[in-house]
A = this chain, B = another copy of it.
Amino acid sequence: MSLRAEQKEQTKRTIMKAALTSLSADRSYGSLSLREVARVAQIAPTSFYRHFKDLEDLGVSLAQEVGETLMELVRQGAREVGPERDLIRASTDIFLRYLREEPHQFRFLMREKSGSSPKIRAEIKRLTEMFIDQIADFIVKEASRRARPIAEPRILAQAIVNIALYAGVEFLDAEPWDQEVIYQQFIKQIMLVSLGGEALARHREQKALRQ
Q: Is A116's beta carbon under 8 Å from chain B?
A: yes
A149 CB–B CB distance under 8 Å: no
Cβ 8 A contact of A193, one of B28, B165, B173, B193: B193
Q: Which residue of B lies closest to A26 (CB)?
A: B116
Q: A159-B159, A198-B199, A199-B199 are in contact. List 10 more A-B contacts (CB 8 A).
A: A28-B31, A31-B31, A110-B114, A162-B189, A165-B166, A191-B196, A192-B196, A194-B196, A195-B199, A195-B200
Which residues of the other chain, B, contact A29 by a CB distance below 8 angstroms? 28
The contact size tier of chain A is 35 or more
Determine whether the beta carbon of A28 is less than 8 Å from that of B158.
Answer: no
Interface string of A103-138 (1 = CB under 8 A from B): 000010011011111100100010000000000000
